[in-house]
Amino acid sequence: MKVTVVGTGYVGLVTGACLSEMGNHVVCLDVDERKIRMLNDGGMPIHEPGLEAIVQRNAAAGRLQFTTDVPAAVGHGTIQFIGVGTPPDEDGSADMQYVLAAAASIGRHMTDYKVIVDKSTVPVGTADRVRQTVTGALRERALEMEFAVVSNPEFLKEGAAVEDCMRPDRIIVGADDERAILLMRALYQPFMRNRDRLQLMDVRSAEFTKYAANAMLATRISFMNELALLAERVGADIEQVRMGIGSDPRIGTHFLYAGTGYGGSCFPKDVKALIHAGQANGMPLQVLGAVEAANERQKLVLVDKITARFGPDLAGRRFALWGLAFKPNTDDMREAPSRVIVAELARRGAVLQAYDPVAMPEAQRVLAGTPGLHFAASQAEALEGADALVVVTEWKEFRNPDFDAIKAALKQPLIFDGRNIYDPALMRMHGIEYQGVGRAAGSEGSGLAFCLEAKGKT
């Protein structure tokens, strides 16, 4: 099947690559000449595990092409995916200029029936605006032509996007055009060989589903973060609480980890957009307002712990930061908690030695000019001469380090763990002062670590 994908960002590139992997002939269109040149030269504009190999394999096979030629790209695919950015506007609403510009380009150059698919995360009612835009462009050409507009939101997790795209747990399609529905089923059939994962619904419900899903996940994160703060006050360990409530099948285990707050390109933007939609429709979403406020507070939780330990003036203090990306397996720094942490510690006069396995180039770009911030070549280099280690992102290589080496490198054995990846009892066994999130002083952590500690004392 011939497919065009407008946009070669996170959504567009992953979608185009995975569709080509299933044998489709995909043309990815972008107005950014630098990005298209990079892709045609074999480079990658984003870090996503497994994506580079798929892109290179299918580009070499001729199934995946990258271009800035709008007429050629529009003429190529019967199915036209719109996968461009929808950044937050000043009032929190989604900025639709790129989506509507893509729709206008399709309308200006289409010569036959097209299925125009909104893949970007867009507000309810966007399909109507896309339809109006395409119709307007056709009228300017004095043409009447059949086309369909479909909502097919993406549900890709950064760091696992290829796996999510190749093995989706659900495929949401909002459509009312029978021909478009048939084509969408045919396109996705190879992705659901063992069972039908396609859920057909009306367009507005499909658009709403994406926002609702991200808002629900953000709510779980903020809820657990608020419970973590309370757990510290009452002497409980939020990690044990998480396991206790997560074993209830009505609740489940996902998105129950306390930490430094959510970030990235999706949750902050989509929560804001849904809050704005509620206000615009006379229905204030009070829960989501609290979710957003709790998340902003949580980004400062490590700073609060550091200043409680060292005092508000951090001049002369040096801290090692492990992790800068908003989550592991990505280089995305958008809305990352590390940006708030770095800015506040620097404002208080601290010197920071930061390391991230993947996000260093992007971090150097977005954090350029931050006073006292230095980028280390390794996690060991970041530790040298620091007053404490601050863990911000839970990369796998941070999970089981040499704690004796950490203790030797630091001026004092002290870890602020923003992701609760270490066991408090194990830290005590190593003689390391430990502060997690929602882990009250005296928390015993896992039974294994407690037994190791007891064994070490005998």
The per-residue pLDDT for range 395-444, each reduced to its tens digit, is: 999 999 999 999 999 999 999 999 999 999 999 999 999 999 999 755 55
Span 436-457, pLDDT tens digits: 999 975 555 544 443 444 344 3
Structure tokens given for 120: 């970007």
pLDDT (average), residues 9-22: 96
Tens of pLDDT, residue by residue over 140-194, are 999 999 999 999 999 999 999 999 999 999 999 999 999 999 999 999 999 998 8
What mean pLDDT comes out for the span 270-275?
95
How large is the average pLDDT for residues 322-342?
97
- 151 vs 103, 120, 210, CA distance in Å? 13, 9, 10
Task: Let me know if 266 is a catalytic residue.
Answer: yes
Q: Is it the case that residue 256 has pLDDT exceeding 90?
A: yes
pLDDT at 296 over 80: yes
Judged against a pLDDT cut of 60, whether residue 458 lies above it is answered with no
E-strand spans in 161-297?
171-174, 198-201
pLDDT at residue 448, as a whole number: 44
Please count the helices (runs of H) and the strands (runs of E) in the chain: 19, 14
Average pLDDT, the chain: 94
* For residue 294, pLDDT beyond 70: yes
pLDDT in tens, 201-234: 999 999 999 999 999 999 999 999 999 999 999 9
Q: How many CB atoms lie within 10 A of CB 369?
A: 5
| Sign of the four-CA dihedral 251, 255, 257, 260 | negative
Per-residue pLDDT reduced to its tens digit, 51-72:
999 999 999 999 999 999 999 9
Q: What single-letter DSSP state applies at residue 154?
A: -
User: Taking residues 328-349, what's their average pLDDT?
Assistant: 97
- Residue 130 pLDDT: 97
Cβ atoms of 325 and 359 within 8 Å: the answer is yes
Whole-number Å distance between alpha carbons of 131 and 274: 22
Which residues does 322 contact at the CB level (< 8 Å), separation at least 6?
Answer: 355, 356, 379, 382, 389, 390, 391, 392, 393, 395, 398
- Among residues 5, 6, 10, the alpha carbon closest in space to that of 264 is found at 10
pTM attached to this predicted model: 0.91
Q: What percent of the chain has pLDDT over 70?
A: 96
From the list 18, 165, 266, 451, the catalytic residue is 266
Q: Could you tell me if 341 and 333 are in contact, meaning their C-beta atoms sit under 8 angstroms apart?
A: no
When pLDDT is cut at 50, 70 and 90, the band that residue 265 belongs to is: confident
Question: Among 395, 345, 353, which Cα is nearest to 375's?
Answer: 353
